[in-house]
Amino acid sequence: MTNTMNSPETEVAVSISVDGQAVSVPEGSTILDACTAAGIDTPTICYGPNLTPVNACRVCVVELEGSRTLVPSCSREVEPDMVVQTDSDRVKHSRKMVLEFLGSGVDLSQADDLNAWSEHYGADPNRYGPDAETMNEPVKIEDDLYIRDYDKCVLCYKCVSACGDDAQHTFAISMTGRGFGARIATEFDGVLPDSACVYCGNCVAVCPTNALQFKTEFDLRQAANWRPEDQSVTTTICSYCGVGCNLELHTQDERIVKVTSPDDHSVTWGNLCIKGRFGWQYVHGDSDGD
């Protein structure tokens, strides 16, 4: 894992220029880290601080002096005296096109971050017309823990990485098909309970568009009662074993509605198991378990 958040003990600083501003970051950091250090916000989709970069989405590209093409800031490591532009016309145009193309064929209605960036760059996914619209696949609901909504999938690979060798090593899902037929699938595209899935929910945790969604959130949204503005998040420790995983309890109306884990904590790096992720329901006396 390329873990830029867990900086090595022997830090050598590297200085680069970002938008004319001198920034110094530890050796091994990425351009994205340098942008963050310089206080510059960067759009990302396929990047996760706890995942190895796969360079799939290209939305984080920046202009690097001396480089023929734009470079993905999430994976490109800093080198001394790099000169980087994050807000040039070329960068803005490229980011806008990525967001527009994705939005033209995918339902981004629950991807709040991406929508904010689309607005920022003036991206208008609708200009490609109805022919580019989503496939209108029914939502896959196969159990009480999480759902799969393929209309919302941008094929960013994050779920595959989290299920695979970046964290869980379960390898229950992978990319299948080509071109427009490409999609994330279980083995032989079977239902989840028959797959290798162990329901850790680490794929759901990294999904940037809510294509993978906890069932509790899905149900509340269906009932028009998912109210992020009324939710608070409390960090505590899971009780199901002695590892000490940090849980972020998302609560609404004094009830837990979702559980995540901080992706910058040295115990979990954002990951949980089925018990920590889903085993909270007894707190509210719900005992429909058997």
| Interface with another protein (CB under 8 A) | 1, 142-145, 165, 167-169, 192-193, 197-200, 232, 234-247, 249, 251, 254-256, 265-269, 271-276, 278-290
- List Cβ neighbours of 34 (8 Å cut-off, separation of 6 or more): 16, 18, 23, 25, 78, 84
CA torsion 108-19-26-247 (nearest 10°) is: -30
Nearer to another protein, 150 or 280 (CB): 280
Burial class (CB in 10 A: 0-12, 13-18, 19+), 255: middle
* Residue 258 identity: K
Burial class (CB in 10 A: 0-12, 13-18, 19+), 187: middle
From the CB of 178, what's the least distance to another protein, in Å?
29
Nearer to another protein, 99 or 204 (CB): 204
From the CB of 201, what's the least distance to another protein, in Å?
11
Nearer to another protein, 20 or 289 (CB): 289
From the CB of 53, what's the least distance to another protein, in Å?
16
User: What DSSP element (H or E) covers 97?
Assistant: helix 89-105
CA torsion 167-172-176-182 (nearest 10°) is: -60
Nearer to another protein, 28 or 105 (CB): 28
Please choose, from the candidates 272, 23, 32, the residue with its C-alpha nearest in 3D space to the C-alpha of residue 162.
272
From the CB of 50, what's the least distance to another protein, in Å?
10
From the CB of 4, what's the least distance to another protein, in Å?
15
From the CB of 161, what's the least distance to another protein, in Å?
13
What are the CA-CA distances from residue 247 to residues 47, 75, 262 (Å)? 22, 28, 7
Nearer to another protein, 1 or 13 (CB): 1
Nearer to another protein, 218 or 240 (CB): 240
